[in-house]
Amino acid sequence: MSHAPQTPLLDRVRTPADIKSFSDSELRKLADELRAETIAAVSRTGGHLGAGLGVIELTVALHAVFDAPRDKIIWDVSHQSYPHKILTGRRERMHTIRQKGGLSGFTKRSESPYDPFGAAHSSTSISAALGFKVAADLGGDSPVGHGDSIAVIGDGAMSAGMAYEAMNHAGDLGRRLIVILNDNEMSIAPPVGAMSRYLSRLYAEAPFQDLKEAAKGAVSLLPPPFREGAKRARDLIKGMAVGGTLFEALGFSYLGPIDGHDMEQLLPVLRTVKARADGPVLIHTITQKGKGYRPAESAPDRGHARAKFDVATGEQKKAPSNAPSYTKVFARSLIDEASRDSRICAVTAAMPDGTGLDLFGERFPSRCFDVGIAEQHGVTFCAGLAAGGMRPFAAIYSTFLQRGYDQVVHDVAIQRLPVRFAIDRAGLVGADGATHAGSYDVAYLSNLPGFTVMAAADEAELVHMVATAARHDEGPIAFRYPRGEGVGVEMPERGVPLEIGKGRMIREGGRVAILSFGARLKEVLEAAEALEARGVAPTVADARFAKPLDRELVLTLAREHEALVTIEEGAVGGFGSHVAQLLAEEGVFDSGLKYRSMVLPDIFIDQAKPEEMYAVAAMNAEHIEAKVLSLLGVAQVAGRRA
Ligand SMILES: Cc1ncc(C[n+]2csc(CCOP(=O)(O)OP(=O)(O)O)c2C)c(N)n1
Ligand SMILES: CC(=O)[C@@H](O)[C@H](O)COP(=O)(O)O
Ligand SMILES: [Mg+2]
């Protein structure tokens, strides 16, 4: 059902400057309209919903009080930035969000001057805001001028080390910096950890209903300057601040908790901070993820991300699936392995649903750990578990494992510990775009001594790779698999461990061999059919391992064919580079082998459907076919692209 809310005030807003003349009661109404508009917009496109609904009032208040783009409003993760986009000149393009050629689902510097900093991975906002502040003080160039630096960070994002590293530095520098801790007691799943409990305690000790009156008069209550000491500030603002001791110890003035949906609290507090702050200030707002839209409020993830949906019912419009998702196949296989090996345990960094570990946790609660958004800790925690005799699986998206890379090298690889990396979302993921693409793991893992690196060609292969990893005690091992559904192959009853470093022949052909690593195999087979129809039936093999390479398979294919093409869903430096290195070392190029490596191009590919992104990368079946034909010097069919 299409839903066009009445938005008379919002209709007057082209840029945030348009709301400067709004009265406080108009700002309250604007927030209601913005909420309805956000729900309607996401219902048409799908995307991140709950987080944006939780910061509607905060978005309006920030734009009313501060002067973006001169003042830098930096949204952490930025999945909550849809309302901000609507208020900053992008309302008319919201129907394009997360689609090819459309708006990004995150803040993006190239998209708008109102997005001073791009994000999508969490917990970067305070560091970036501090950088802006210091750049301003040092007189850095800025086409829009310098103003305040404001980081808006969620309670989930607050579990990552980077946030504390930044606060530690900010407290030391002592410069004016505004951090808004948007505490909705949710990450994607319920938040975990002592920090989360600590924040809840701050709220429990001073519920904001007691603070409403104090907040109204905040201007007169807050002392100039805030930095005269946390105790003095706390005393002077009496009921408003409740000894946010951790933040104060880090050198911040702590204000809160305040009701982040109540403009009567938000506006005066922000105005006061704008007028008076002269050091780092942390404003603790309590909000509700999914606020104001019942289907989101009542969902277990509070409407974190949604497919297109019917506004009236909240019902999502999801395409029926033909095959199980890779994530579910992984989870079921791991449960199966863990039922026979009590040393197997599993670790997720705040993505229990996304990685399938919610299922594992239901079955083995004492062997499943959600460490929060803390990939670095998660990896080293696994190293410790492995050193202590357990067999941990670190289930982390390819893109987020980037954050734990030093831990992979220093804590796992160098110590040759049997940590098993289940790398979900490998390759191009679609609507989340370049920030979430799993492009680099093959390259950054295959260069590590002693690491075993596998990629699943389909969901049945994934089952075998879980079984392989479960029995691999000789050092670290990783297996990667894409986002979404499998290809619909017949599933094995149970995983059978693969021989380490051995690939498999898929079909025998003539002049050319295509050696696939990972889930492009489906496209390779489609290309092979087309090539066969053109009289150049290729040999097709599945490498399974990027490390150790199946040297025998590679060299046989190279020596028995005129041409060899490798393909992988990853950037240069991965599987194809290792194959090329082997061929060069063995002198195979000297005998005239034609070799091409199909990898992701050296660009960041913007959001689109995965197949559209792979078209940009020239890695779909038609591109494979064209690549082979051009390599063999066979004339191509008009309309087909290489
Ligand atoms: C480094 C990193 N790990 C994991 C994620 C996936 N992720 C995106 S949003 C989110 C939850 C963030 O929670 P919070 O900061 O409290 O924001 P909320 O959604 O509650 O508004 C997670 C885990 C990420 N974006 N970045
Ligand atoms: C913002 C963020 O990082 C997550 O919400 C991400 O969009 C989830 O991606 P999946 O949908 O692939 O789990
Ligand atoms: Mg949260």
Task: Say how far apart CA 3 and CA 6 lie, in whole Å.
Answer: 10
Q: Model confidence at 319, in pLDDT bands (50, 70, 90)?
A: confident
Q: Which amino acid is at 150?
A: I
The residue out of 480, 496, 530 marking a domain boundary is 480
DSSP states along 96-109: GTTSTTS--SS--T
As a whole number of angstroms, the longest Cα–Cα distance in the chain is 85
520 ligand 2 Cβ < 6 A: no
Closest-CA residue to 425 (of 354, 376, 372): 354
- Contact in structure between 283 and 265 (CB atoms under 8 Å): no
Residue 161, judged by CB atoms within 10 A of its CB (0-12, 13-18, 19+), counts as middle
pLDDT value of position 638: 54
Kindly report the CATH number assigned to the domain that includes residue 175: 3.40.50.970
78 is an annotated ligand-binding site residue: no
In a domain, 308, yes or no: no
Does one domain contain both 256 and 295? Answer: yes
Does one domain contain both 513 and 623? Answer: yes
Residue 598, judged by CB atoms within 10 A of its CB (0-12, 13-18, 19+), counts as buried
187 ligand 1 Cβ < 6 A: yes
- 65-74, pLDDT tens digit by residue? 999 999 999 9
- 490-520, pLDDT tens digit by residue? 999 999 999 999 999 999 999 999 999 999 9
Contacts of 337 (CB under 8 A, 6+ apart): 344, 466, 467, 470, 495
- Contact in structure between 113 and 69 (CB atoms under 8 Å): yes
3-state SS record for 113-160: CCCCCCCCCCCCHHHHHHHHHHHHHCCCCCCCCCCCEEEEEECCHHHC
- 180 sits in which H/E element: strand 177-183
pLDDT value of position 637: 60
Task: Say how far apart CA 38 and CA 49 lie, in whole Å.
Answer: 8
- 33-48, pLDDT tens digit by residue? 999 999 999 999 999 9
Does one domain contain both 331 and 455? Answer: yes
- Closest residue (by CA) to atom 21 of ligand 1? 51
- Contact in structure between 514 and 558 (CB atoms under 8 Å): no
pLDDT value of position 223: 39
Region 421-447 average pLDDT? 98
Q: What residues sit around ligand 3, an ion, with C-beta below 5 angstroms? A: 154-156, 184, 186
435 ligand 1 Cβ < 6 A: no
Name residue, tokens 């980037």.
402
Neighbours of 153 (CB within 10 A): 27
Name residue, tokens 């709301």.
19
Can you list the alpha helix ranges (DSSP code H) found in 250-304? 263-276, 294-297
**Residue 434 bridge partners (DSSP):** none
Task: Say how far apart CA 268 and CA 265 lie, in whole Å.
Answer: 6
Of the listed ranges 56-70, 245-259, 379-393, 482-496, the least confidently predicted one is 245-259
In a domain, 498, yes or no: no
Does one domain contain both 475 and 523? Answer: no
In a domain, 317, yes or no: no
Does one domain contain both 344 and 451? Answer: yes
First to last CA, the chain: 42
Domain ranges, residue 69: 48-74+117-300
Percent of the chain with pLDDT over 90: 88
Q: Model confidence at 141, in pLDDT bands (50, 70, 90)?
A: very high
Q: Which of 76, 81, 106, 432 to mutate to test the pocket of ligand 2 (most atoms within 8 A of CB)?
A: 432
Name residue, tokens 């007189």.
139
Q: For ligand 1, what atom is nearest to the CA of residue 351?
A: 23
- Contact in structure between 542 and 573 (CB atoms under 8 Å): no
pLDDT value of position 373: 97
In a domain, 108, yes or no: no
Question: Is the confidence at residue 222, as pLDDT, over 90?
Answer: no
Does one domain contain both 156 and 188? Answer: yes
pLDDT value of position 4: 87
Angle, helix 24-45 to helix 263-276, in steps of 10 degrees: 110
Q: Which amino acid is at 514?
A: I
Neighbours of 587 (CB within 10 A): 9
Task: Say how far apart CA 533 and CA 102 lie, in whole Å.
Answer: 38
Does one domain contain both 64 and 211? Answer: yes
Region 130-152 average pLDDT? 97
Neighbours of 637 (CB within 10 A): 12
In a domain, 223, yes or no: yes
pLDDT value of position 240: 43
Kindly report the CATH number assigned to the domain that includes residue 527: 3.40.50.920
Between the CA of residue 362 and those of 366, 371, 424, 495, 504, what are the distances in Å?
9, 16, 20, 21, 35
pLDDT value of position 232: 36
Question: Is the confidence at residue 231, as pLDDT, over 90?
Answer: no
In a domain, 315, yes or no: no
Strands 420-424 and 391-397: parallel
Strands 539-542 and 504-507: antiparallel
The beta strand positions in 217-363, using DSSP E, are 253-259, 280-286, 305-306, 344-348
- Contact in structure between 187 and 219 (CB atoms under 8 Å): no
pLDDT value of position 5: 92
- Contact in structure between 425 and 487 (CB atoms under 8 Å): no
Distance 41 CA to ligand 3 centre (A): 22
**Residue 285 bridge partners (DSSP):** 182, 258
157 is an annotated ligand-binding site residue: yes
pLDDT value of position 206: 63
- 362-381, pLDDT tens digit by residue? 999 999 999 999 999 999 99
The half-sphere exposure of 609 on its side-chain side, counting CA atoms within 13 A, is 5
- Contact in structure between 481 and 456 (CB atoms under 8 Å): yes
pLDDT value of position 225: 38
- Contact in structure between 458 and 486 (CB atoms under 8 Å): yes
Ligand sitting nearest the alpha carbon of 403: 1
Percent of the chain with pLDDT over 70: 92
Task: Say how far apart CA 457 and CA 519 lie, in whole Å.
Answer: 4
51 ligand 1 Cβ < 6 A: yes
How many domains, the chain?
A: 3
In a domain, 26, yes or no: no
Name residue, tokens 């607050």.
158
189 ligand 1 Cβ < 6 A: no
Q: Model confidence at 197, in pLDDT bands (50, 70, 90)?
A: confident
Q: Both tokens of residue 465?
A: 């790779």
- 463-500, pLDDT tens digit by residue? 999 999 999 999 999 999 999 999 999 999 999 999 99
Report the b/e string of 266-280 with b at 16+ CB within 10 A.
Answer: bbbbbbbbbebbebb
Task: Say how far apart CA 153 and CA 83 lie, in whole Å.
Answer: 16
pLDDT value of position 43: 98
Residues assigned a catalytic role: 289, 375, 403
Ligand sitting nearest the alpha carbon of 51: 1
pLDDT value of position 186: 94
Task: Say how far apart CA 14 and CA 470 lie, in whole Å.
Answer: 56
Does one domain contain both 460 and 338? Answer: yes
How is residue 636 annotated by DSSP? P
In a domain, 24, yes or no: no
Can you list the alpha helix ranges (DSSP code H) found in 437-544? 441-446, 459-470, 521-533
Q: Model confidence at 156, in pLDDT bands (50, 70, 90)?
A: very high
Does one domain contain both 346 and 435? Answer: yes
Ligand sitting nearest the alpha carbon of 159: 1
Mean pLDDT, all residues of the chain: 93
DSSP states along 568-633: EEEETTSHHHHHHHHHHHTTTGGGT-EEEEEEE-SSPPPSS-HHHHHHHTT-SHHHHHHHHHHHHT
Does one domain contain both 379 and 295? Answer: no
Does one domain contain both 340 and 290? Answer: no
576 is an annotated ligand-binding site residue: no
pLDDT value of position 238: 36
- 547-600, pLDDT tens digit by residue? 999 999 999 999 999 999 999 999 999 999 999 999 999 999 999 999 999 999
Does one domain contain both 57 and 200? Answer: yes
Closest-CA residue to 58 (of 223, 235, 248, 270): 270
Length of the chain measured in residues:
642
Region 451-464 average pLDDT? 98
pLDDT value of position 220: 41
Neighbours of 6 (CB within 10 A): 9
